Amino acid sequence: MVIIIYLFLFLQDRFSRHRRQTVDSTSSTVDKNPGNRYSYNGESETARNGDRGNDTTLIYFITPTYPRREQIAELTRLGQTLMHVSRLYWIVADDRPDCSLQIMNLLPDFSIPYTYIASPMPSIYKHNPNAMPRGVSNRRAALNWIRLNHNINDSNAVIYFGDDDNTFHLDLFKEIRTTKKISMFPVGLVGEYGVSSPIIDKGKVVGFFDSWASKR
């Protein structure tokens, strides 16, 4: 009986919170560009006005994602990592026509400044598996949001593309902040080689060590 009551109270709390946040999120969802829909949390002023008095490099962490069974679980894992990173702005770009209520309910749990964008792949590509640009519309939508909203007087910022199914060590973000122009980082446990990495010669990228190189 105690377990049943606890479960009922837990579900009741989650449901009421879901309804409340759904209203808040949908009321702040606006059309900025054809085909894209946006949902903000209340801290997006960090991107527009900068963080005065803070010299730490701002990281725009762009995460392309798409609807699937594991989507919420993987975004939860990623969000619980990003919540430990200072001065980070999370842009979640979803391959769907409208913002998901589940994700709008999830993102505020991490107390991270974020923007959630519904950025579906153009239908012209969906029926051609040989020319399917996966994640391209998501990344383009996120970059466009930054162009429209970033404070142009704040040059102390860097963009990083981080997939939702990857795991990130917190030390990586220290490396990301050192970026001056372009940085590339190896990724472990990928493909037959076990690692995907740029090949560096005299400080320049001259190739890639990747078992899927022909497709990239």
The tens digit of pLDDT for each residue in 183-198 reads 888 888 877 888 889 9
Return the higher-pLDDT residue of 154 and 81: 81
Binding site, annotated residues: 165
Give residue-wise pLDDT tens across range 26-36.
Answer: 333 333 344 45
**Residue 154: partners with Cβ closer than 8 Å, 6 or more residues away:** 50, 58
> Which residue blocks in the chain are alpha helix, DSSP H?
2-27, 45-49, 71-82, 101-106, 123-126, 136-149, 171-176
pTM value?
A: 0.75
Q: Which residues are annotated as a binding site for Mn(2+)?
A: 165
**The two structure tokens encoding residue 2:** 């105690």
- Measured CA to CA, the distance from residue 146 to residue 46 in angstroms comes to 12
Instruction: For residue 66, report the phi and psi dihedrals to the nearest 5 degrees.
Output: -150, 155
Given the DSSP bridges, would you call strands 88-94 and 58-65 parallel, antiparallel or unpaired? Answer: parallel
